Amino acid sequence: MAKPAAGRLGAPNPYAPQAPYPGVGVPYSQPQGGNGQAIAGLVLGIISLFICWIPFFGLPLPIVGIILSALGRRSPTGRTIGTVGLVLSIIALAVAIIFIVIIIIAAIAGSQRSTP
């Protein structure tokens, strides 16, 4: 059986142009930051809705959630998640403050009703 000569049909051409290497000349973009802060703000917002009913312990968590959500909203990729976390944290902070005010008012009213 005879070998086909180079350049004939069925034989690979050793002088054919090579395909360029993948990624040559294409700069890599830096990953967008801020998603982690937005997700952390969302998680803290969700948790703070359950913790806000505990007097005086429900205040720090929504405050940290507000800060992280606001920082996460600066990134275009974490904007929606940051907004949801911000809203949840603000609701939890408002509920915690109202609950603490009600407890303080109840404590003052209870101390004035003491029997002689």
What pLDDT is stored for residue 75 in this prediction?
84
For the chain, the farthest-separated pair of C-alpha atoms sits apart, in whole angstroms, at: 121
The whole-chain average pLDDT of the chain stands at: 82
62 neighbors 96 (Cβ within 8 angstroms): yes
- Cβ neighbours of residue 90 under 8 Å, at least 6 residues apart? 62, 66
Per-residue pLDDT, averaged over 51-78, amounts to 88
Please tell me the predicted confidence (pLDDT) of residue 116.
59
Model pTM score: 0.67
Residue whose C-alpha is closest to residue 52's, from 87, 100, 106: 100
Number of helices (H), then strands (E), belonging to the chain: the values are 3, 0
Give the pLDDT band of residue 16 (cuts 50, 70, 90).
confident
Task: Name the nearest CA neighbour of 75 among 32, 46, 116.
Answer: 32
